[in-house]
Amino acid sequence: MLVNQTLWSPNISAASRNLNSVLGFVVHATASGAPALNIAKYFANPDNEVSTHYVIGKDGFCIQCVPLNRVAWAIGASHVAGINNTSTVSAELCNLNDGVDPFPAVQVKKLADVIKAVRRVCPNLPLTRIFEHADTSVQGKSDMRANFPIERLLWYILVPTWVPFPGKAAAYKLFPPWAKHEADLFNT
């Protein structure tokens, strides 16, 4: 099951959007030790004026907060051309975002599954447009930190599920050039 629960946020666009307009996927860290349900409840509060499409807990528990055909209030102002709230899907990963707190394999696998599912219904979302929030933000956001396992995420997206992750360095060597470039961007 991709989504374990829904807890809809009121902090969304009034109008629906065409899924052909989705051009990017933005990965966030919650900067909190709270479980996914607590984070989703935060997004469900209209006073907070922020939202995301998905919240993924360390245990892989996934809560959808915004339907894909609606715009989440997730990334704010962006300096990447064509990438903004209206053209992206966002996922929050429960993590302290301190560069030390690990991202468990089950959490990264769920994120990969979410990205693959979103790409099935958003035909203009290329894998080369997966961003960490820090890459898009003009407000100095720091998520994701260098300890985010981008190689594991790309492996789970690109390789059949029955093939085990061989480790960061081995996976990187097997990636096509565009995936190496994406991993390099996340690791800088």
pTM: 0.91
Of 143, 145, 172, 142, the C-alpha closest to 159 is 172
Which residues of the chain register pLDDT less than 50?
none
Task: Specify the DSSP class assigned to residue 92.
Answer: E
Across the chain, mean pLDDT equals 88
List the structure tokens of 139.
């407000």
Spell out the domain ranges in the chain: 5-186
Closest CA to 86 of 12, 10, 3: 12
User: What is the CA angle 115-36-183, rounded to 5?
Assistant: 35
pLDDT digits (tens, 9 = 90+) for 146-175: 788 989 999 999 987 778 888 888 888 888
Which of 72, 79, 62, 59 lies closest to 131, judged by CA?
Answer: 79
Give CA torsion, residues 12, 18, 23, 29, to 10 deg: 30
Q: Tell me which architecture the domain covering 5-186 has in CATH.
A: 3-Layer(aba) Sandwich (3.40)
Q: Helices marked H in 63-149 — which ranges? A: 105-121, 133-136
